A and B are shown apart, each in its own frame.
Chain A
Amino acid sequence: KAGVTQTPRYLIKTRGQQVTLSCSPISGHRSVSWYQQTPGQGLQFLFEYFSETQRNKGNFPGRFSGRQFSNSRSEMNVSTLELGDSALYLCASSFPGTGPGAFFGQGTRLTVV
């Protein structure tokens, strides 16, 4: 079974631009969550989608948004990028009923210059 796939792996953007990151969950997994990892703040929850609906949301500004498609693939978007948005963005998928261990992708390293 293929794991969680995130694209692209690396991205460099300029302050003020917007960016879209993509995540393909493990086949059959319907829950997709996004996390931001920075050296200062650690791993922080952004939002979770289940069956195309946002089910949970973390404490991030409205510039961070996401969506999930009918095939469970998910995208997250960050608009008006700031230098502080530079981070490793991680996507995780899970399937209710199989245990709480979420499976993570390798992440997208976003650098804002």
Chain B
Amino acid sequence: DQQVKQNSPSLSVQEGRISILNCDYTNSMFDYFLWYKKYPAEGPTFLISISSIKDKNEDGRFTVFLNKSAKHLSLHIVPSQPGDSAVYFCAARAGGTSYGKLTFGQGTILTVHP
């Protein structure tokens, strides 16, 4: 039972344009959603998070949108840069004391072309 899904295995974008990465979830108990960026043979790097009580969070070029009714979130990167090329993981955390228990999607490979 995959509770967090990233249905697009890959995304290719031109430098300077917008990258939109999508994520769907099924568990209504998730209270925080996070996005991570990962390079091969390295650990994920935290990018941005959003609480389930908000619908938008912005940090520089990164914006995350949450649609609770659709159980859908997206990460927007504007403008996209070649250095953004990596695997992006969506993750979710259920409430309570589960600070360290994250459920991850399968990841989306983002390629930004110069």
Contacts and interface: CB of A to CB of B under 8 A. Distances in A.
Interface of B is mostly: loop
Contacts of A56: 97-98, 100-101
Given A56-B101, A100-B93, A102-B46, A88 B41 contact: yes
A96 B95 CA distance: 12
A50 B102 contact: no
Interface stretch (A13-21, A41-49, A77-85): A41-49
A86 B13 CA distance: 33
B25 interface: no
A100 B104 contact: no
Classify chain A: how many residues form its interface, as a range: 20 to 34
A35 B107 CA distance: 15
Contacts, number: 75
A104 B43 contact: yes
Interface residues of B, number: 24
A101 interface: yes
A100 B34 contact: yes
B106 A100 contact: no
A100 B89 contact: no
Interface of A: 4, 31-33, 35, 42-45, 48, 50, 55-56, 58, 88, 90, 92-94, 96, 99-107, 109
Those 9 A-B pairs whose CB atoms lie nearest each other, nearest first:
A104-B43, A33-B100, A48-B100, A43-B104, A101-B46, A100-B32, A56-B101, A31-B100, A42-B106
